[in-house]
Amino acid sequence: MNAGLQAALALFPIALGGTLLVGFRVPAKKAMPAAYLAAVIVALGVWQMEPIRVLAASIQGLFLSFDLLFIIFGAILLLHTLERSGGVAAIRRSFHGVSDDRRVQVVIVAWLFGSFIEGAAGFGTPAAVAAPLLVALGFPAAAAVMLGMMVQSTAVTFGAVGTPVLVGIQGGLGGEAFSADLMAAGLTMTDYLHAVTAKAVLLHATAGVLMPTWMVVMLTRFFGEKRSWTEGLSILPFTLFGGLAFTVPYVLFGTFLGPEFPSLLGAPIGLAIVVTVARRGWLLPADSWDFPARDRWDEEWTSGLEQELADVSDTKRVSTAMAWAPYALLGLLLVLTRLPSLPIGGWLQGPAIEWAGILGSSITARTTPLYLPGFVLLVVVGLTALLHRMEGAALRGAVRSSSRVLLGAGFVLIFTVPMVRVYINSDVNAAGLLSMPLAMAEWVAGNVGQVWPFFAGMTGALGAFIAGSNTVSNLMFSAFQYGVAERLAMPTVMIVALQAVGAAAGNMIAIHNVVAASATVGLLGKEGSTLRKTILPTIYYLLVIGVLGLLAVHVFGVTDPGVS
C-alpha cells in the first residue's frame, strides 16, 4: 500500500468527525461515536490490528476519559459551590473596581489567569476553570468556551510545570540512536530540552503576543451587537501590552531557567502588571464595550447557565477577597502539588489504579486520581464551603447540579478518547505499517522536502487535534520530527521546537477539549460552532511559526548545539 493511500485512510475517521461537527453541525454526541466506529474499522481492516488490541486501546481510553471527567466535575462543582455561597455575586462586584469593559476582562481572566492555570495544571484545566468563571462574570456560554479554547495556545507547551517538554519530548525522543547523538555532542538530555525550550519560547512569544488581541476581536466580531472587528481593535494598545506582559517574562524564564517556569511564573507576573495598569485606566480607550442586552442574545450563544448565574442573589454578602480565595487556593495548591522540588506530588501519585497488560495485550492503563487537578478542585470546594460558611443542603445542591451536567460530557468522551488511543496504539499491527498518526506525518514529510519547517508545526497540531494533548502529540511525533530533520540536514532543535509549539496551537481545535470546556458551561451539542471559530487563531498561529521556522533554517542558519 503506498504512503498516500495509508495517510488518506488514517485521516478518514478524523475527517469524518470534523466534517460532521463543522460541516453538517452534527452534535458531538452523534459525530464522535461515528468517528470512533470508523477508526475501529480502519484499524481492523487496513492496519490489521488484533481485535483484542483495539479493545484494550479503547479501555485505556476509558481510563483517560475518567481523568478528564474528574477535572470537569471539579471545575463545575467549584462554580456551583460559589454560586450558592455568594462568591459568584462577589466576583462580579470585584470587577467593577478594575473595569466593566468586557475586553479588559478577557485579557485579565482568560489570557492571564487562564495561562497561569495552564502553567500549573495543564491537561485542559484552563478552559474548564476559565470558561465557567467568564459565564459567572456575565459572558455568554459560547463566548466563554471560545475564549477558554484560545487560552490553550501560548502557555500550553510549558503547561503542568513543563510536562509537554519534560514528559512529551523527553519520552518521545528516548532511544539508543538519540542517546548516541547526545553523547557525541557532549550534551545531556537536560541540555537538549533546555535548547528546545529556548527556541520554543521565542516562537511562542512572537505568535502569542497577539493572542489577547485575537481573543478580543473575535469576541466583538462574533458576540457583539455590531459584529465588528474594529471594536476589538480599538483597545489594541491594552491588548498588546497584555500580550507583552506575559510573553516577555515567559521568554526570560524559558531561556534562563527551563521548561517548568515560562507559563507558571510568566502569567502571574503579567497578571499583576496588567491589573495595576487597568485599575489606573492606562492604555484604555474612552469607550467601554459590553454585550448587547441579554434579551437580544442569539440563541446559539446561550446554555441557560447565564440566566441561572445572573439570578443569583447578592443577599449573602461575601467579601471580594473571600470570593477570590478559592481561585487563589486552586493556583497555590496546583503549584505545590506539581513542583518537582517538593514531595507532595510524589505522595499524591502513590495511590494508583492500574490495569497492566489489558486483556493480554502490551497496553497498560493507569490513573492516579489524587494527583489529578480534579482532586485539587474537590479539596478547594471543601475549603470554600468552610470559608464561606455554607450549609450542608447548599453544598449537596451544588453536587447534584454538577453531576447532571457531567452526564452529557461523559457520553461524548467515552467515544472520543478511546478513538485517540486506537490511533496511537495502531503501531502494533499485522500489516507491518507505521502507526496511523505516523503514516499521515510520513506522507507529508516525503512530499514537502526543504519547506518542512513550515509544516513541522502543522504535524504537531495534527497530533494535538487527535489526542487533545500537547504532551501526547510530542510523545507521538518528537522522534519523527528529529528523524526528518536529520534526513533533511536541518537543525533538530528547531524542528522539535516547532513540533512542540504547533502541538500547543492544535489544542485550540482539539475535539475532546471543546467537549470538556462546553460541558463546564452546559453547552454540549454546539461543539462544531466553537471549532469553526477557533480554527481562525489556529491557522494564524501555525502560519506565523511556519514562516519563522523557514526563516530560522534557511535565512538565519540556526544550528544545533553540537548535535548531529
Measure the CA–CA gap between 473 and 502, rounded to whole angstroms: 9
- Give the residue from 305, 292, 273 showing the smallest Cα distance to 112: 273
522 sits in the region (left: phi over 0; alpha: psi -120 to 50; else beta) called left
Write down the mean pLDDT value for the chain: 90
Helix axes 470-487, 392-424, angle to 10 degrees: 30
CA distance 271 to 249: 11
User: What pLDDT score was predicted for residue 513?
Assistant: 84
Output the pLDDT for position 405.
72
Tell me what pLDDT residue 496 has. 96
Q: What pTM, to 2 d.p., does this model score?
A: 0.83
Which is more confident, 124 or 289?
Answer: 289
pLDDT above 70 (res 562): no
pLDDT (mean) for 181-194: 91
The owner of cell 557532549 is 186
Mean pLDDT of 40-52: 97
pLDDT number for residue 211 = 98
pLDDT for position 312: 66
> CA 359: distance to chain centroid?
32
Q: What is the pLDDT of residue 446?
A: 82
Question: In the chain, where are the structural domains located?
Answer: 3-354+366-555
Rounded average pLDDT over 461-489? 85
Q: 168 pLDDT exceeds 80?
A: yes
Three-class HEC string of 206-260: HHHCCHHHHHHHHHHHHHCCCCCCHHHHCCHHHHHHHHHHHHHHHHHHHHHCCCC
| 467-491 mean pLDDT | 85
The DSSP bridge partners found for residue 353 are: 367
Average pLDDT over residues 284-302: 92
Average of pLDDT values for 319-340?
87
Give yes or no for residue 313 having a pLDDT over 70. Answer: no
Highest mean pLDDT among 80-94, 104-118, 398-412, 438-452: 104-118
Is 134 a residue whose pLDDT tops 60? yes
- Which residue did the predictor score with more confidence, 543 or 71? 543
Residue 10: name the closest of 488, 431, 388, 560 by CA: 431
Rounded to whole angstroms, how far apart are CA atoms 370 and 165?
A: 23
Q: Residue 12 carries which side chain, given as an amino acid letter?
A: F
Under 8 Å between Cβ of 77 and 225:
no
CA trace torsion 58, 64, 65, 68 (10° rounding): -160
C-alpha cell at 209: 503576543
Q: What pLDDT is stored for residue 340 in this prediction?
A: 79
Q: What angle is formed at CA 162 by the lines to CA 161 and CA 164, rounded to 5 degrees? A: 130
Residue 563: pLDDT above 60? no
- Proportion of the chain above pLDDT 90, given as a percent: 55
> How buried is 463 (Cβ within 10 angstroms: 0-12 exposed, 13-18 middle, 19+ buried)?
buried
Q: Which of 132-136, 284-288, 305-309, 370-374 is predicted with the least confidence, judged by mean pLDDT?
A: 305-309
Highest mean pLDDT pick, 107-116, 165-174, 196-205, 288-297: 196-205
Q: Which three cell numbers stand for residue 298?
A: 442569539
Residue corresponding to grid cell 458531538? 28
**pLDDT confidence bin for 315, thresholds 50/70/90:** low
Contacts of 386 by beta carbon, 8 Å cutoff, 6+ apart: none
**pLDDT higher than 50, residue 198:** yes
Quick one: pLDDT band at residue 564, thresholds 50, 70, 90?
A: very low
Q: Using CA atoms, how far apart are residues 500 and 459, in angstroms rounded to an integer?
A: 10
List C-alpha distances in Å: 368 to 2, 62, 284, 544, 563: 41, 14, 45, 37, 36
Site of grid cell 434579551: 295
